[in-house]
């Protein structure tokens, strides 16, 4: 699979969501953020590009009260098929070229079940640690479209941190996650982002800091010296 195979689907979906007034209510997370960062930083070749099927949109907690839009209908128009589990509590949109999933900020305290977003006709899957991304996201432009993404330094820190959630069949994704985080880390440090990394690290809860430092040490990240 080549990047161009699914890039046009990614761009068409962004445009369609933006045209329907719902893109502003989502935070793009995962490796597709790198396309947005790359354009933001004038297509710097040091920013890694990762070929991936998965396009993940994070829905804030609580969800924003946006317009009524039939998301499944929009994605079906782009050739994506809706897949659900038997209970209907998990939802994913799949085609040969791309997969789209909606995630929800899991704050714990009984909020770990799937979230039905009635005005969008979708179900979002809860994911840990995402409240930090919700707090520290920013708007950039991609192909003229405003897209909300994690602040780049936060993207790197969280990319490292969430590897501890990669278990079972998902563990095979860890090496790619680490390489992506490391490449983006090197780019940002070259840009002088040391103080930004320290600022967002200090904003994390203490248990997160400990877990993150363990991951960074395990993978011999340059951030160990920056953050200590």
Cα of 69 vs its chain's centroid, Å: 22
- Percentage of the chain surpassing pLDDT 70? 92
How far apart CA 149 and CA 147 sit, in angstroms, is 6
Q: Is the pLDDT of residue 4 over 90?
A: no
CATH number (domain holding residue 24): 3.30.460
> What is the per-residue pLDDT for 1?
45
Helix-then-strand count for the chain, H and E? 9, 9
One domain for residues 69 and 99: yes
Please identify, among 125, 150, 175, the residue that sits at the C-terminal boundary of a domain. Answer: 150
pLDDT digits (tens, 9 = 90+) for 188-197: 999 999 999 9
One domain for residues 32 and 129: yes
One domain for residues 49 and 33: yes
The region of weakest confidence among 6-15, 49-58, 202-211 is: 49-58
> What is the per-residue pLDDT for 114?
86
C-alpha to C-alpha distances, 46 to 26, 41, 87, 119, nearest whole angstrom: 27, 10, 44, 40
Q: How many domains does the chain have?
A: 2
User: Residue 207: which pLDDT band, with cuts at 50, 70 and 90?
Assistant: very high
One domain for residues 47 and 75: yes
pLDDT digits (tens, 9 = 90+) for 46-100: 998 876 889 999 999 888 887 899 999 999 999 999 998 876 678 999 998 899 9
Please identify, among 150, 177, 208, the residue that sits at the C-terminal boundary of a domain. Answer: 150
Question: With b meaning 16 or more CB within 10 Å and e meaning fewer, what string describes 16-27?
Answer: bbeebebbebbb
> What is the per-residue pLDDT for 165?
76
The dihedral through the CA atoms of 9, 10, 11, 13 has a sign that is: positive
- Percentage of the chain surpassing pLDDT 90? 72
Domain that holds residue 168: 151-228
> What is the per-residue pLDDT for 155?
97
Contacts for 63 with CB less than 8 Å, ≥ 6 apart: 25, 115, 117
One domain for residues 135 and 163: no
Average pLDDT score over the chain:
90
For range 194-222, the mean pLDDT: 96
One domain for residues 144 and 174: no
> What is the per-residue pLDDT for 168?
65
Q: Please state the φ and ψ torsions of residue 44, each to the nearest 5 degrees.
A: -60, 125
Please identify, among 150, 177, 204, the residue that sits at the C-terminal boundary of a domain. Answer: 150
One domain for residues 62 and 119: yes
One domain for residues 157 and 139: no
One domain for residues 79 and 110: yes
How far apart CA 38 and CA 142 sit, in angstroms, is 9
> What is the per-residue pLDDT for 70?
96
- Is the backbone of residue 140 left (phi > 0), alpha (psi -120 to 50) or beta? beta
One domain for residues 132 and 178: no
Q: Is the pLDDT of residue 110 over 60?
A: no
pLDDT digits (tens, 9 = 90+) for 157-191: 999 998 887 766 566 788 888 999 999 999 999 99
pLDDT digits (tens, 9 = 90+) for 142-158: 999 999 999 999 999 99
């Amino acid at each position: 699979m080549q990047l161009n195979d699914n890039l046009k689907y990614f761009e068409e979906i962004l445009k369609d969501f933006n045209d329907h007034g719902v893109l502003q209510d989502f935070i793009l997370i995962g490796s597709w953020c790198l396309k947005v960062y790359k354009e933001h930083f004038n297509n710097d070749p040091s920013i890694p590009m990762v070929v991936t099927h998965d396009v993940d949109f994070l829905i804030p907690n609580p969800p924003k009260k946006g317009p009524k839009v039939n998301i499944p209908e929009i994605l079906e128009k782009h050739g994506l098929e809706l897949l659900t589990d038997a209970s209907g509590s998990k939802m994913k949109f799949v085609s040969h070229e791309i997969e789209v999933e909606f995630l929800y900020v899991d704050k714990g305290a009984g909020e770990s079940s799937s979230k039905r977003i009635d005005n969008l006709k979708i179900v979002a899957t809860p994911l840990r640690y995402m409240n930090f991304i919700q707090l520290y996201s920013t708007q950039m432009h991609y192909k003229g479209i405003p897209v909300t993404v994690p602040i780049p330094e936060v993207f790197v820190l969280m990319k490292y941190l969430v590897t501890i959630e990669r278990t079972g069949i998902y563990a095979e994704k860890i090496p790619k996650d680490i390489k992506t985080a490391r490449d983006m880390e090197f780019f940002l440090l070259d840009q002088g982002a040391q103080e930004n990394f320290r600022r967002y690290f200090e904003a994390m809860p203490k248990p997160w800091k400990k877990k993150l430092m363990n991951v960074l040490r395990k993978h011999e990240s340059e951030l160990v010296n920056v953050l200590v």
